[in-house]
Amino acid sequence: MDLTEEEKLIGGVLSLRQVGYLVGGGMLSVLGVLFLRALGAPWALSVLALPPGAALGVLLAFYRFEGMNADEFLYRALAWRFRKKRFAWKGE
Picking from 49, 70, 61, 69, the residue whose alpha carbon sits closest to that of residue 22 is 61
For residue 67, tell me if it sits in a domain. yes
Model-wide pTM > 0.85: no
Say which residues have a Cβ less than 8 Å from residue 17's Cβ, sequence separation at least 6: 6, 61, 69, 71
66-72 contacts, C-beta under 8 A, 24 or more apart:
69/17, 71/17, 71/21
Question: Which residue segment(s) compose the domain that 68 sits in?
Answer: 8-82
For residue 89, tell me if it sits in a domain. no
Cα–Cα distance measured from residue 4 to residue 69, given in angstroms and rounded to the nearest whole number: 13
Tally the domains of the chain: 1
For residue 65, tell me if it sits in a domain. yes
Tell me the average confidence (pLDDT) per consecutive run of 10 residues in the chain, 92 residues long: 71 87 94 92 89 93 90 92 85 68
For residue 88, tell me if it sits in a domain. no
